[in-house]
Amino acid sequence: MHRWKGRVALVTGASVGIGAAIAKSLVQHGMKVVGCARNLENIEKLAAECVSSGFSGTLIPYKCDLSVEDDMLSMFSWIKVQHQGVDVCINNAGLALPEPLLSGKTSGWRTMMDVNVIGLSVCTREAYQSMKERNIDDGHIININSMSGHRVVNNADIHFYTASKYAVTALTEGLRQELREAKTHIRATCISPGLVETEFAYRLLRENPEKAAATYKSIKCLEAADIANAVVYVLSAPPHVQIGDIQMRPVEQLT
């Protein structure tokens, strides 16, 4: 990871769970990390923790709504002025709402598409343009996908979410191909975890917190730090090695 020391990473959805774990890990490895989310307070607390732990990098909190394009464009402009640009973009922000295909609300479907697909694509485009204008040829774009981007589970509450994650699988491979056509050595990777113990199920099942808690108690889940370690592994690969996708599940997870 030494070649990333002092360089700039953007981590979306950095206020909780996987995003917070990734941001913390990259700061530990000496990177300048812009952590964005709608909830700034959590990122500010995490930034203070990083300082008191004596980590060699810095966490810079930035308030941004990943469903609003103007917010994202303003964020990239701000990063350009303050920190020159983005060398690593980690598209972690994502959400699942319990909106089945036969009875779900269109607004819920749209929210999932806005954040999981459009927001990710806007950040990818802007990160690439930032790298290109500064002649950065070794950048990296990492999409935090899901096992739901590779198989459909018999659970009506997550079918639309699953479709949004299948889109991430296609977008990551499409991105890899376009980067090849652009004759750049910028890399594209997605990381597809199964069940990770975060706030995710509590948000999905906010009407039924007992069911959410039971989801995580049923097996020994992955932890957010496991995904952060996968990000470090991907970034640490030699520059000629591109890791396309890491699928990771808890050993005890069947589906």
**Given this model, what pLDDT does residue 215 score?**
85
Name, in order, each residue with C-beta under 8 angstroms of 31's C-beta and a sequence gap of 6 or more: 4, 5, 6, 7, 8, 9, 57, 88
Residues with Cβ within 8 Å of 12's Cβ and at least 6 positions away in sequence, in order, are 19, 36, 37, 64, 66, 90, 91, 92, 93, 119, 120, 123
Spatial distance between the Cα atoms of 170 and 154, rounded to a whole number of angstroms = 22
Alpha-carbon distance of 173 to 215, in angstroms, equals 31
The pairing of strands 88-91 and 140-144 is parallel
- Residue 18's pLDDT is what? 97
Please give the DSSP secondary-structure letter assigned to residue 251: T
**pLDDT tens for residues 114-138?**
999 999 999 999 999 999 999 999 9
Query: Rounded CA gap, 78 and 84, in Å?
Result: 9
Q: Give dist(CA 231, CA 194) in Å, integer.
A: 15
Catalytic residue among 161, 166, 202, 216: 161
Please report which confidence band the pLDDT of residue 202 belongs to, taking 50, 70 and 90 as the band edges. Answer: confident
Which band of pLDDT confidence, cut at 50, 70 and 90, is reported for residue 212? confident
Element (H, E) at 141: strand 140-144
**Please, what are the domains in the chain?**
2-247 (3.40.50.720)
pLDDT at residue 204 greater than cutoff 90: no
Question: Would you say the C-alpha torsion 9, 10, 11, 15 has a positive or negative sign?
Answer: positive
- Number of residues assigned to the chain: 255
How far is residue 69's CA from residue 120's CA, in Å, rounded to a whole number?
11
To the query of whether residue 161 is one of the catalytic residues in this protein, the response is yes
Radius of gyration of the chain (CA): 17
Determine the pLDDT at residue 201. Answer: 84
pLDDT digits 0-9 by tens, 46-72: 999 999 999 999 999 999 999 999 999
Q: What is the pLDDT of residue 13?
A: 97
Q: Is 111 exposed, middle or buried (0-12, 13-18, 19+ CB in 10 A)?
A: middle
